[in-house]
Amino acid sequence: MDNSPTALTPRFQEALVFATQLHARQLRKGSAVPYIAHLLSVTGLVLEAGGDEDEAIAALLHDAVEDQGGLDTLADIRCCFGDRVAAIVEGCSDAYTIPKPPWQQRKEKYIAHLREASPEVRRVSLADKLHNARSILRDLHKDCAATWDKFNGGKDGTLWYYRTLVQIFSEVENDF
């Protein structure tokens, strides 16, 4: 792993503005926390793990395709930030359409994809899942009973998903 600092250029600032605009009206699931807080946390984890600027930009935009416009948004990302960023974002997305396919089907497909995904996709995905798991833990401490109601997979499905992710991320080389 290269220990030299990651340079963040004005391109990163443009991505931050783009992400802030895309998710301006979005809140974290079941909370009043602006969604950009999640994107910034994931980006911080990626940078701390040695990710480069493209990975940091992809971290800012990792939910844009799923939550804010599907393939049209992916095309905008490709145009503004390049093929590599778009490929990482696409690799972190489990759905492009509204309505999304059934939860279990999406998660099984995403898990299969992660086993073969590039290291960059796995780094951003792991940062995303780690931050989500931290948020779940925080919510469990606040209001245990209501926490699982927010998730399409419920308690059992969500725990299955995260256990499987831990197994996959443990099998592949990563920097966390």
Residue 22, domain CATH? 1.10.3210.10
pLDDT band at 3 (very low <50, low <70, confident <90, very high): low
96 inside domain: yes
The pLDDT tens digits of the residues spanning 60-118 come to 999 999 989 889 999 999 999 999 999 999 999 988 877 888 989 999 999 999 999 99
What is the DSSP secondary-structure string of 46-100? HHHTT--HHHHHHHHHTTHHHHTTHHHHHHHHHHHH-HHHHHHHHHT-S--SSSP
85 inside domain: yes
4 inside domain: no
pLDDT band at 144 (very low <50, low <70, confident <90, very high): confident
Please tell me the pTM assigned to this model: 0.91
pLDDT band at 174 (very low <50, low <70, confident <90, very high): low
Rounded Cα distance between 38 and 108, Å, is: 23
DSSP state of 151: S
Of 21, 30, 102, the residue nearest 64 (C-alpha):
21
3 inside domain: no
138 inside domain: yes
Structure tokens at 148: 């699982």
Q: Which of 52, 53, 67, 90 is catalytic?
A: 67
Residue 2 or 72, more confident: 72
Active site (annotated) includes residue 67: yes
Q: Which of 55, 66, 120, 139 is catalytic?
A: 66
Active site (annotated) includes residue 175: no
